[in-house]
Amino acid sequence: MTTTRPAGLTDDFLEALVKRVPGSSGATWKLTEVYTGELLVELPQSTPEDIEAAFAEARQAQALWAKWPVKKRLEVFERAHTLLLDNALTTTDLIQAESGKNRRMAVEETCDPPMIISHYLKRAAKLLKPIKRGGPIPMLSSSTEVHVPKGVIGIIAPWNFPFATGLSDAIPALMAGNAVVVKPDNKTALSPLYGISLLEEAGLPKGLFQVVCGEGPDVGPTLIDNADYVMFTGSTATGRVIGERAGRNLIGCCLELGGKNPMIVLDDVKVDDWVESAAFGVFGNTGQICMHIERIYLPDSRYDELKDAFVQRAANLRIGASYDFDPEIGSLVSPEHRDRVASHVDDAIAKGATVLTGGKARSDIGPAFFEPTVLEGVTKDMLAGKTETFGPVVGLYRYHTVDEAIRLANDTDYGLNASVWSGDIERAEGVAAQIDSGNVNINDALATAYASKGTPSGGVKLSGVGARHGDQGLLKYTDVKNVAVLKKQVLGARPGQDYDAYVKQMVSSLKLMRKLRVR
């Protein structure tokens, strides 16, 4: 294994990326390589004035971009699709350096924007085409639904998938004719900056896709106050703040928030099929996936068998700091987050939980590594039993009946993702129908739902508002204009007409139209 920074990530290359970030105050943030703690680059921090200027430039570019025919806009993304794939390994290097994830997960992340592009290249023209409908008076009136861009979209992207969320949430907004101002997390700004440079190489007009950087409380208010719509992925606590401010500004927002995601394993499951997917669902990206599994419910009749198989797989996962494909588990994003994960495990142990494997930080590998951890005996008075841990930690629970498993799975304030495993798909679908969650994967942990770009993906309860993907994943970035035409003045009583007669005529007309299925 090699922890040497990839040769392509030269100081000049990194400096060129961060030059597009406005920072008039001269303040910077030390962006470090997670594996070693080595300084990568000084990231400029944007002032409120910088953010306002970025929005002003974006609005100017958007006014011209919105006039482009949809076909011409989509041609940019045809070229971008190729560029993103051709440069995927450079993007992978950046993602690893800034986030610490293992290379397998990093390269998978690079696939998300091309998948989004491919989906909306098929759908965008149809979704944005005006739809003509009948008006209130058959033959004499019409109404046309026209989707127009909202203007400038503010996107606040998280650190766990900086490239995927930084670009994939922006792509349908841009296709719809908007400009975008994105605020990536300071820790993970490099990969989205690189992705934007590739979009511009594909022909996206300069100034249309802006980047501002800074800590959330410093940057967020100005960004929201200048945006026409906000897309946010992150914690429920921050989502509340963003939703409240967007509401005061009377703009829309889409919020994908936290989860305490359950997996129900039924008693007819095939162990070998289940254990690999379950391990990924819990430990993929070192547990730093919004949809990852934090609670696994196992049937009493097979509890020991399934527990032993899962614990053995978790214990054998290869953990390492490496820019090759050997490690199955990478680093957490920062020492601070490692400490948060450790506090959940320590709290659980102190209150009576048992560690079946893992449970310790691994400073011998790198400053933010933590072992894959399986707990037993977790209760709701523990941090790991109620709040989102967002790390490589899972609790195993025994259930006696399927109804009990469903009740326990739903016993949470969250509702982002869930998983059901069974050898009988119909039986699993019956369980899935009873789970309170925006996404439910059958015989998979999380990837199938998220990768299904044609279907909306979002959360319920405290896990969010709105959705990405599907038709609404693009249409949410548009306003609807109703263009109504009346060809002849037939609405209302005509001059000199007796109003009682007009009312009788109106009622008779409505009855006739209903009978003829006209209205």
The catalytic residues are 256
With contact defined as beta carbons under 8 Å apart, do 117 and 81 qualify? yes
Structure tokens at 470: 């599907």
SS3 label, residue 375:
strand
Cα separation, 264 vs 341, whole angstroms: 24
- For 34-56, give the DSSP string: TTT--EEEEEE---HHHHHHHHH
Cα separation, 105 vs 446, whole angstroms: 14
With contact defined as beta carbons under 8 Å apart, do 52 and 222 qualify? yes
SS3 label, residue 133:
strand
The alpha carbon of 231 is separated from its chain's Cα centroid by a whole number of angstroms, namely 9
With contact defined as beta carbons under 8 Å apart, do 227 and 261 qualify? no
Phi and psi, residue 191, nearest 5°: -65, -40
Q: 363 CB contacts (<8 Å, ≥6 apart)?
A: 369
Helix axes 271-283, 303-315, angle to 10 degrees: 50
With contact defined as beta carbons under 8 Å apart, do 311 and 374 qualify? yes
